[in-house]
């Protein structure tokens, strides 16, 4: 069975109503990245950061996977599929994808602020627990923090993702500018004979010296076209 890696970014979830960070009017316009997405911001004002991610979690309860998410999941009917996502939402899971690597963490999980990448400290929250409070403790006694990879922190799953890209026969990129490293470097691991498809409504400057089949459409419309091309 041929192997597909689907690399998704904020544009994948935009059609579901999840605010993107980088676009005009996005979250970075409302909240400086230094305040809500760095270890220094968290140390300076843990209440602000905790409230920010509580609000992001609650938004998940109001949105649904879009057709693009569902069509990515449907690829599993004919292919061995791995989703590598820069998104922290759970829409791929809810759409039915079964192998998902989250590069930047997961909104629905919390962890220790002392040792955030310890598997023993990472915990899935039920929707009733989405309101994390200052004083809520991890098993090691430290304050619970979002299980999010902040700017300046290592990306623990990047090597796992690179291994999957190396094995892929087809790489599909959806809704990412290919400007965010280390994720943007993943395409360099694709084997020469791999077919690469890029779905994005905006014009994306492809920074790679190889052929990329560009479908200049949104996630759902683009995945409809690609599904026809792949015969799924």
Cβ proximity of 198 and 204 under 8 Å: yes
- 100 forms beta bridges with 83
Token pair for 186? 């993943």
Token pair for 118? 């310890």
Between the alpha carbon of residue 36 and those of residues 15, 46, 86, 151, the distances in Å are 24, 9, 17, 10
Token pair for 205? 């400057």
Neighbours of 67 (CB within 10 A): 17
Q: Is 104 among the residues known to form the active site?
A: yes
Q: What is the largest CA-CA distance in the chain?
A: 53
**Separation of CA 181 from chain center:** 13
DSSP 128: G
Catalytic member of 69, 102, 104, 211: 104
Which strands form 144-148's sheet, in the order they lie side by side? 123-124, 105-112, 144-148
Is it true that the peptide bond before 182 is cis, omega within 30 degrees of 0?
Answer: yes
Taking only Cα atoms into account, the Rg of the chain, rounded to an integer number of angstroms, comes to: 18
Enzyme catalytic residues: 104
């Amino acid at each position: 069975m041929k192997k597909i890696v689907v690399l998704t970014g904020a544009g994948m979830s935009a059609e579901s109503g999840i605010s993107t960070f980088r676009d005009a009017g996005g979250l970075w316009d409302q909240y400086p990245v230094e305040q809500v997405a760095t270890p220094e911001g968290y140390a300076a004002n843990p209440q602000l950061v905790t409230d920010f991610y509580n609000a992001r979690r609650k938004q998940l309860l109001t949105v649904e996977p879009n057709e693009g998410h569902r069509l990515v999941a449907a690829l599993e009917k004919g292919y061995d599929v791995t989703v590598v996502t820069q998104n922290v939402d759970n829409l791929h899971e809810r759409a039915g994808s079964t192998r998902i690597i989250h590069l930047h963490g997961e909104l629905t999980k919390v962890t220790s602020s002392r040792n955030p990448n310890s598997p023993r400290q990472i915990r899935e929250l039920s929707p009733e627990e989405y309101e994390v409070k200052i004083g809520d403790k991890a098993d090691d006694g430290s304050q619970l923090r979002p299980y999010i990879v902040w700017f300046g922190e290592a990306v623990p799953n990047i090597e796992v993702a690179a291994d999957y890209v190396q094995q892929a026969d087809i790489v599909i990129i959806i809704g990412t500018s290919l400007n965010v490293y280390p994720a943007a470097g993943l395409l360099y691991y694709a084997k020469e004979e791999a077919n690469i498809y890029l779905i994005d409504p905006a014009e994306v400057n492809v920074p790679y010296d190889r052929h990329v089949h560009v479908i200049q459409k949104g996630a759902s419309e683009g995945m409809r076209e690609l599904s026809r091309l792949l015969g799924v």
